[in-house]
Amino acid sequence: MVELITRNYWWPGITKKVKQYMEECDQYQRMKNRVEILVGKLRPNKVPERSWQYILVDFITKLPVFKGYDLILVICDRFLKISHFVVITEKMIAKGLVRLFRDNMWKLHRLLESVILDRGFQFVIELIRELNKMLGIETNLSMAYHPQIYE
């Protein structure tokens, strides 16, 4: 691109300006070749067949502190779109979150088949570890890399 422009024009800092323009250009970003490996095709989530089979979990954060609570845990059923709202603190650890699930979800709606949670891997791993401990499930981790799990 710089070569094409410098055939007819030149000014001090032309290379930097062209690079900045290309990084901001929507059409260029859509059409340029990607060197990184693509993750794979997106797969839609399974469609629930009954209520409280699959749920969505999210947090409403950055709330003003009220009676010691500053965060709301939102649990939404994907079939009926019914939600539970539970007030918690931002410092809540996975153990406390598993107890909240037990007291507010499983008590009312049975054990779930799937939970969609948009938190990081470390948080999810800690959550699963505490869940297994609470249910008496022994967790054995493999040290090998198994790509078939992600396909």
Q: pLDDT for 17-55, tens place per residue?
A: 988 988 888 888 777 776 776 667 777 888 888 888 888
For the chain, percent of residues with pLDDT exceeding 70? 87
Average per-residue pLDDT for the chain: 79
Q: How far apart are CA 139 and CA 125, in angstroms?
A: 11
pLDDT for position 144: 52
Structural domain includes residue 105: yes
Q: How many domains does the chain have?
A: 2
Domain that holds residue 101: 54-140
Q: Does 118 map to a domain? A: yes
Determine how many CB atoms are found less than 10 A away from the CB of residue 71: 17
- 10 Å Cβ neighbour count for 88? 16
Give the whole-angstrom CA distance, residue 110 versus residue 146.
31
What is the percent of the chain where pLDDT is above 90? 3
Are 15 and 58 part of one and the same domain?
A: no
Residues 87, 124 share a domain: yes
Residues 84 and 24 in one domain: no
User: CA-to-CA distance for 136 and 145, rounded, in angstroms?
Assistant: 26
pTM here is 0.58
